């Protein structure tokens, strides 16, 4: 059982840090994937209390989850919808991101049938080659959608592929293409309320990408993807567990599956509950570090499905039942960035894997 502690004050702090960086833009907090593993519902409420006009989720099911929990605010479906999901999106007053004419037509048809205008955000692919009308498709798409009387184009957006790398020319290239899209939109007479391109990294590095709405995700969770130029973001998630067993192991004994660690001398070894089934990546075997009584204790042997063994030599008083900090706790070695470095990934994936599953108990403070 992992204990995942969510620090709501840190979340608010990060939200305010984003506000200070983009004072003229509305904030669309991105809480897809269960709030990057932090818990979507409570963070949604917190973000709305802080004045966010709209929430960013991924798929229809996440939007429905907001409504089930009585969150009635506007919510943008960032991953778009399939045509057959259009009716439900409308029913739950969720705002789809639209990047296909087929979906636009279907939404327009439903709007006409119900005698109302359906709000959508149009997405353009300016160089990431993921979602969005390409520049080749844009002229025709905008012209056709502008004529759909039961659609209301509330937003125009694109997504940046390399904003975390300010040396890369790709962001300027994408933003130049986006300016062309905006020209096109203007010419058709559409007057979108929101123009948005910036994820966390672009909020930090590309002021001219802010327009009048920004879409922070990872920065709100306290792990900005690049240099923060002195802006402080606070980690929101702490992951804790406990020692289920503590023993003296003699010299020359193998630790765990395949004995990838052999005790060089007599050692105190602890067994921590929580393994790869809980999001503790097996690549942390013999590499990662946890904290016991505030002291770093190295992982020894292979990470198991449910457990991890640690070297308690530096914490002679450690006993079964004692708390173990796996992630967080204020040291670099137990930061999401360090976990990511050791396991060949990015903090995003660390969070998404740690905060979920039936054996996780989430606690908010
Ligand atoms: C996930 C997502 C974001 C948030 O990105 P971060 O790098 O976490 O700030 C913004 N926009 C879109 C379209 C996304 O899918």
On whether residue 2 sits in a domain, the answer given is no
The tokens 């403070």 sit on which residue? 365
Ligand 1 contact via 164 beta carbon (within 6 Å) = no
Among residues 86, 100, 11, the alpha carbon closest in space to that of 50 is found at 11
Q: Does 126 reside within a domain?
A: yes
Q: What is the CATH number of the domain that holds 327?
A: 2.40.37.10
pLDDT in tens, 325-365: 999 999 999 999 999 999 999 999 999 999 788 899 999 98
Does any ligand 1 atom lie closer than 6 A to the CB of residue 218? yes
Q: What angle do CA 179, 182, 187 make, to 5 degrees?
A: 130
**Minimal-distance CA residue to ligand 1 atom 6:** 217
Claim to verify: residue 41 and residue 144 sit in the same structural domain: yes
111 & 212 share domain: yes
Q: Which of 160, 188, 221 is the last residue of a domain?
A: 221
Let me know whether 45 and 168 are in one domain: yes
Residues 254 and 189 in one domain: no
Rounded mean pLDDT of 212-238? 93
Q: Is the CB of 30 under 6 A from ligand 1?
A: yes
Residues involved in catalysis: 32, 257
Q: How many CA atoms lie within 13 A of 47 on its CB side?
A: 33
Q: Ligand 1 centroid vs 199 CA: distance in angstroms? A: 5
Q: Give the number of the atom of ligand 1 that is nearest the alpha carbon of residue 203.
A: 9
Counting the structural domains of the chain, the total is 2
Evaluate whether 214 touches 27 at the Cβ level (below 8 Å): yes
Pocket test for ligand 1, best of 78, 123, 132, 198 (most atoms within 8 A of CB): 78
- Asked if 42 and 125 sit in the same domain, the reply is yes
Please write the tens of the pLDDT for every residue from 83-121.
Answer: 999 999 999 999 999 999 999 999 999 999 999 999 999
Q: Please tell me whether residues 50 and 184 are part of one structural domain.
A: yes
Same domain, 208 and 299: no
Structural domain ending residue among the three candidates 187, 221, 255 = 221
**Are 292 and 200 members of one domain?**
no
Q: Name the residue range of residue 298's domain.
A: 237-364
Model confidence pLDDT, tens digit, residues 241-254? 999 999 999 999 99
Give tens-digit pLDDT for 275-302.
Answer: 999 999 999 999 999 999 999 999 999 9
Residue with CA closest to ligand 1 atom 14: 78
Q: Is the pLDDT of residue 9 over 90?
A: yes
Pocket test for ligand 1, best of 21, 27, 30 (most atoms within 8 A of CB): 30
Q: Which residue, of 190, 221, 252, is where some domain finishes?
A: 221
Q: Is 159 in the pocket of ligand 1 (CB under 6 A)?
A: yes
Q: Is 215 in the pocket of ligand 1 (CB under 6 A)?
A: yes
CATH number at residue 120: 3.20.20.10
Claim to verify: residue 145 and residue 284 sit in the same structural domain: no
pLDDT, position 347: 97
Q: How far apart are CA 43 and CA 215, in angstroms?
A: 15
Identify the pLDDT of residue 79.
98
**78 Cβ below 6 A of ligand 1:** yes
Centroid of ligand 1 to alpha carbon of 58 (angstroms): 10
> What's residue 335's pLDDT?
96
Domain shared by 309 and 174, yes or no: no
Residues 59 and 205 in one domain: yes
3, containing H or E segment: strand 2-6
Give residue-wise pLDDT tens across range 119-132.
999 999 999 999 99
Q: Is the pLDDT of residue 224 over 90?
A: no
- pLDDT above 90 for 227: no
């Amino acid at each position: 059982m992992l204990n995942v502690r969510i620090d709501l004050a840190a979340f608010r702090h990060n939200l305010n840090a984003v506000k200070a960086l983009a004072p003229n833009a509305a904030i669309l907090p991105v809480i897809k994937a269960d709030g990057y593993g932090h818990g979507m519902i409570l963070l949604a409420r917190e973000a709305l209390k802080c004045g966010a006009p709209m929430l960013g989720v991924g798929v229809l099911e996440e939007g429905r989850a907001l409504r089930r929990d009585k969150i009635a605010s506007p919510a943008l479906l960032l991953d778009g919808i399939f045509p057959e999901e259009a009716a439900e999106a409308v029913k739950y007053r969720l705002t789809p991101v639209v990047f296909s004419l087929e979906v636009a037509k279907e939404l327009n048809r439903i709007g006409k049938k119900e005698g109302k205008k359906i709000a959508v955000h149009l997405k353009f692919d300016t160089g990431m080659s993921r979602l969005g009308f390409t520049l080749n498709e844009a002229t025709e798409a905008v012209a056709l959608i502008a004529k759909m009387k039961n659609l209301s184009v509330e937003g125009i957006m694109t997504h940046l592929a390399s904003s975390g790398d300010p040396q890369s020319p790709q962001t300027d290239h994408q933003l130049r293409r986006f300016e062309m899209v905006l020209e096109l939109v203007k010419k058709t007479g559409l007057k979108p309320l929101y123009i948005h391109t910036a994820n966390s990294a672009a909020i930090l590095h590309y002021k001219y990408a802010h327009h009048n709405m920004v879409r922070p995700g990872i920065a709100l969770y306290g792990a900005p993807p690049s240099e923060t130029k002195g802006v402080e973001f606070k980690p929101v998630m702490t992951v804790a567990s406990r020692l289920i067993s503590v023993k003296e192991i003699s010299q020359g004994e193998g630790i765990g599956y395949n004995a990838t660690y052999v005790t060089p001398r007599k050692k105190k070894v602890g067994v921590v509950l929580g393994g790869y089934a809980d999001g503790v990546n097996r690549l942390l075997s013999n590499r990662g570090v946890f904290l016991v009584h505030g002291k770093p204790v190295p992982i020894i042997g292979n990470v198991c499905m449910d457990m991890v063994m640690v070297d308690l030599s530096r914490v002679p008083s450690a006993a079964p039942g004692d708390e173990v900090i796996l992630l967080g706790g204020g040291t670099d070695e137990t930061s999401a960035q360090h976990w990511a470095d050791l396991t060949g990934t990015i903090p995003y994936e660390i969070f998404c894997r740690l905060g979920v599953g039936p054996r996780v108990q989430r606690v908010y403070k």
